[in-house]
Amino acid sequence: MSKGFLPISKDDMNRMKIDQLDFVYVIGDAYVDHPSFGHAIISRVLEANGYKIGIIAQPDWKDKNSINVLGEPRLGFLVMAGNMDSMVNHYYVSKKRRTNDAFTPGGIMGKRPDHATLVYCNLIRQIYKNKPIIVGGIEASLRRLAHYDYWSNSLKRSLLLDSGADLLLYGMGERSIVETADALNSGIDIKDITFIEGSVYKAKSKDSVYDAIELPDYQALLKDKANYARSFYIQYTNTDPFSGKRLVEKYNDNLYIIQNPASKPLSSQDMDRVYSLPYMRTYHPSYEKFGGVPAIEEVKFSVVSNRGCFGGCSFCALTFHQGRMIQVRSHESILAEANQMIWDKDFKGYIHDVGGPTANFRHMACDKQQTKGVCTNKQCLFPKPCNNLKIDHKDYLALLRKLRELPNVKKVFIRSGIRFDYLIHDKDEEFFHELCEHHVSGQLKVAPEHIADAVLSRMGKPENSVYEKFLDKFKQMNMELGKKQFVVPYLMSSHPGSTMKEAIRLAEYLRDLGYMPEQVQDFYPTPSTISTCMYYTGLDPRTMEEVYVPTNPHEKAMQRALIQYRNPKNYDLVVEALSVAHRMDLIGFDKKCLIRPRKGDKAYQNPNANSKDKKLVKKKTIRNVHKKKTK
């Protein structure tokens, strides 16, 4: 294995005495050789298995020669859009263009195209008509079958068809990429590689496909959104590597997309091996002149301890990508990585995170999952914790204690998120106590997302009473420790199921709490989530019930403004929202009111003004808002 970065140029190849690479990896991010970046893991895993691989990072998609800087690979091209979906990377939920890209040198925006996976594949095909192309990463993984595309507001075909790629590897690809490489290396044609777990391929017929579920065909999905909701839920219940079935999606009589069951989860030994590979743990030195790659700052002094999440939030794509089964690294592996970090010249004594999708999940949800996989018809935590769920923080606590004892370590933080509805059901309070004592720096960020149970049920989140119980316990624990620490809740506006009534309830809750969030996440319909399916179809695919969905941009803006009703910039939107919901009683001087009338409304300057005068002022206020909106 190489002792430095992988080749990015012919000069690098010559210096490393490589005549031809086995694979050329085309990526939408800058080249960062750190295990928090998917391209780094895949390339190092291939290298560890004897393959020569080079990196083309952020090629100029307007110049087909940019794809040829490393020459023709012996076995094929690998393509990944980046650590983020390229469309999410480029656009806010409002569809306005972002101004910075943390995965690009200097944070410059515009160094990759929209739908980067598709564009890069088409670029390769201009020069190499028959060379195998294998796509992977989050963008490809979530578009492996027909999917709703929020940015064009349309139902798109499998990415495998529009990209011209030969094979799509979904999920975490360490197993599937090596099996695919070995198959190509043995002389098997890419069109005959139909047997890899965690892969999706094209077929001219379904005759050779066995033990499969046939999804509604693409034309049926276009004709009726209810068909898409049914198809999506079949996919959702077949993401498990043990219980999941093979899926077939028809496009015409001579074109089918076949999804094989997911790859088996990695054992702790496998995970340890992946994270022990010789990563350089930073960005390529060629980016130094641009000021480096901003994204490294978030992960440089953090440690990935687990994968997967059995939380099952409706708006999260983890079920489709990493899966619901927890995979963990051993303490020895994590401590070895931490021992590398703590001697770095830039280390200030703070390990920023020890976690994964959910930090406090350190084992499978129940023993059954080890052989039978996850339940297809119910969740582990929602709506109530399953009776078989193992709620135990002992292993995670032991790990954190070991990390705290390392030399040079002042504090170990947990930034990747604590699942409070899991923590609050642990009868042993030892972890909760040490969390507050050692791992919170004034504020603990958690994600209740909303407080209205009608919305929470659509989100796959527990009832608000569970969050309230957690808050009470957190307050009590900090009082016992003599600490003044606070919970910072992540909140989401405009999720399917949220009417203006629920949005106002959330605003009133924040009023009573005396808290005004600095950031609010408006629901973002990204591919392959239950919530996005609801957004597109107006149906909850789990029950096929109709769901209210705020899709109008102006209504979404009002719901978002209500959460930050104290911000003067939101005043007009808040007034309009209260008018629409017939809650003008929340405008005034009473402590229960959200906002006051504007200066100049004389009736409201006198708290004893009669109700008739107040009604006139409210009508005037609404009229002024609508005038501004018209202008």
| Residue 600 banded pLDDT, cuts 50, 70, 90 | low
pLDDT digits (tens, 9 = 90+) for 173-222: 999 999 999 999 999 999 999 999 999 999 999 988 988 999 999 999 99
pTM for the model stands at 0.92
| Residue 320 banded pLDDT, cuts 50, 70, 90 | very high
Nearest-angstrom CA–CA distance, 505 and 491 = 13
Nearest-angstrom CA–CA distance, 42 and 264 = 16
Classified as helix, coil or strand, 589 is coil
Our measurement of the distance from residue 253's CA atom to the centroid of its chain's CA atoms, rounded to an integer in Å, reads 35
pLDDT at 276 over 50: yes
pLDDT at 49 over 80: yes
Which residue, among 465, 517, 523, 522, has the nearest Cα to 487 in the 3D structure?
517
Amino acid 418 reads I
* 366 belongs to an annotated ligand binding site: no
| Residue 1 banded pLDDT, cuts 50, 70, 90 | low
Nearest-angstrom CA–CA distance, 180 and 177 = 5
Which residue, among 435, 430, 560, 538, has the nearest Cα to 494 in the 3D structure?
560
CA distances from 207 to 189, 251, 435 (A): 19, 15, 56
Report the DSSP beta bridge partners of residue 250: 256
Please give the sequence-ordered ranges of beta strands (E in DSSP) within 385-527, or none if there are none.
411-412, 443-449, 486-493, 521-522
pLDDT digits (tens, 9 = 90+) for 251-260: 999 999 999 9
pLDDT at 518: 78
| Residue 519 banded pLDDT, cuts 50, 70, 90 | confident
| Residue 623 banded pLDDT, cuts 50, 70, 90 | low
Our measurement of the distance from residue 94's CA atom to the centroid of its chain's CA atoms, rounded to an integer in Å, reads 18
Segment 280-293 mean pLDDT: 96
Do 132 and 78 touch, CB atoms closer than 8 A? no
Count each helix (H run) and each strand (E run) in the chain, helices first: 25, 24
Nearest-angstrom CA–CA distance, 101 and 347 = 25
Averaged pLDDT of the chain: 93
Do 285 and 295 touch, CB atoms closer than 8 A? no
Q: Within 10 Å of residue 176's Cβ, how many Cβ atoms?
A: 24
Do 142 and 151 touch, CB atoms closer than 8 A? no
The encoded tokens of residue 310 equal: 């059995």
* 436 belongs to an annotated ligand binding site: no
pLDDT at 622 over 90: no
Report the DSSP beta bridge partners of residue 259: 200, 247
Q: Compute the residue count for the chain.
A: 631
Classified as helix, coil or strand, 203 is strand
Higher pLDDT, 614 or 87: 87
Spell out the domain ranges in the chain. Answer: 10-204+255-259
pLDDT at 619: 52
The encoded tokens of residue 213 equal: 């579920």
Q: CATH homologous superfamily for 10-204+255-259?
A: Cobalamin-binding domain (3.40.50.280)
pLDDT digits (tens, 9 = 90+) for 412-440: 999 888 999 999 999 999 999 999 999 99
pLDDT at 615: 52
Nearest-angstrom CA–CA distance, 76 and 120 = 14
pLDDT at 450: 96
* 309 belongs to an annotated ligand binding site: yes
| Cα dihedral across residues 125, 129, 131, 133: positive or negative | positive
Nearest-angstrom CA–CA distance, 631 and 148 = 34
Which residue, among 145, 126, 285, 314, has the nearest Cα to 218 in the 3D structure?
145
Nearest-angstrom CA–CA distance, 354 and 362 = 11
Which residue, among 108, 105, 112, 111, has the nearest Cα to 293 in the 3D structure?
105
CA angle 383, 384, 387 (to 5 degrees): 135
| Residue 517 banded pLDDT, cuts 50, 70, 90 | confident
Amino acid 225 reads K
pLDDT at 177: 98
The encoded tokens of residue 548 equal: 């209210």
Segment 227-253 mean pLDDT: 96
Please spell the DSSP secondary structure of 101-161, one letter per residue. -TTSGGGBS-SS-TTHHHHHHHHHHHH-SSS-EEEEHHHHHTTSSSEEETTTTEEE--HHH
Return the axis-axis angle of helices 394-404 and 430-438, rounded to nearest 10°.
30
Classified as helix, coil or strand, 612 is helix
CA angle 169, 175, 181 (to 5 degrees): 75
Q: Given the structure tokens 């202008």, which residue do they identify?
A: 631
Q: Given the structure tokens 């989860």, which residue do they identify?
A: 265
Q: Within 10 Å of residue 379's Cβ, how many Cβ atoms?
A: 22
pLDDT at 631: 45
Percent of residues, the chain, with pLDDT higher than 70? 95
Which residue, among 378, 395, 394, has the nearest Cα to 310 in the 3D structure?
378
Higher pLDDT, 163 or 613: 163
Q: Given the structure tokens 């490489």, which residue do they identify?
A: 181
Segment 465-478 mean pLDDT: 96
Report the DSSP beta bridge partners of residue 546: 539
Instruction: Note if the bond before 383 is cis, omega within 30 degrees.
Output: yes
Q: Within 10 Å of residue 630's Cβ, how many Cβ atoms?
A: 6
The encoded tokens of residue 422 equal: 């899991």
Nearest-angstrom CA–CA distance, 137 and 113 = 16
pLDDT at 607 over 50: no
Instruction: Note if the bond before 216 is cis, omega within 30 degrees.
Output: no
Helices within 145-267 (DSSP H only): 159-163, 174-185, 218-223, 225-236
pLDDT digits (tens, 9 = 90+) for 349-383: 999 999 999 999 999 999 999 888 999 888 999 99
Segment 120-127 mean pLDDT: 96
Do 503 and 562 touch, CB atoms closer than 8 A? yes
Segment 391-395 mean pLDDT: 97
What is the enclosing helix (H) or strand (E) of 473? helix 464-481
